[in-house]
């Protein structure tokens, strides 16, 4: 799977079943802000200069932008994490 963005590998490794939430890895985020530029309804830069997710369950029409933000993140800090229907979605 060479060349696969990290978020795709993460989803595949978790056994993606259709339920995914965006997550920011604070260890990797450098506060570039491209995620907020691409999808401001889901990502914002906080006072500390790092991105955070404002909507962990975005509407379907935003998913192309969420995925674009994950692809464009210079440090691969945006993860799209799969979760099962039996799990609670934590923010």
- Read off the pLDDT of residues 13-42 as tens digits, 9 standing for 90 and up: 444 445 678 999 999 999 999 999 999 999
Residue 80: pLDDT above 50? yes
Residue 85: band (very low, low, confident or very high) from pLDDT cuts 50, 70, 90 = low
For the chain, list the domains and their CATH numbers. 6-82 (3.30.70.20)
Which of 31, 9, 19, 15 lies closest to 77, judged by CA? Answer: 31
Residue 63: per-residue pLDDT: 86
| Helix H or strand E segment including 20 | strand 20-24
């Amino acid at each position: 799977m060479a060349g696969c963005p990290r978020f795709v590998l993460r989803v595949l490794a978790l056994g993606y079943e259709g339920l995914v939430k965006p997550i920011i890895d604070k260890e990797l985020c450098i506060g570039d802000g491209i995620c907020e530029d691409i999808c401001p309804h889901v990502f914002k830069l906080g006072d500390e200069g790092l991105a955070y997710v404002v909507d962990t369950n975005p509407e379907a029409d935003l998913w192309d932008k969420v995925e674009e933000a994950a692809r464009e993140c210079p440090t691969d800090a945006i993860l799209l994490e799969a979760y099962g229907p039996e799990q609670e979605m934590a923010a």
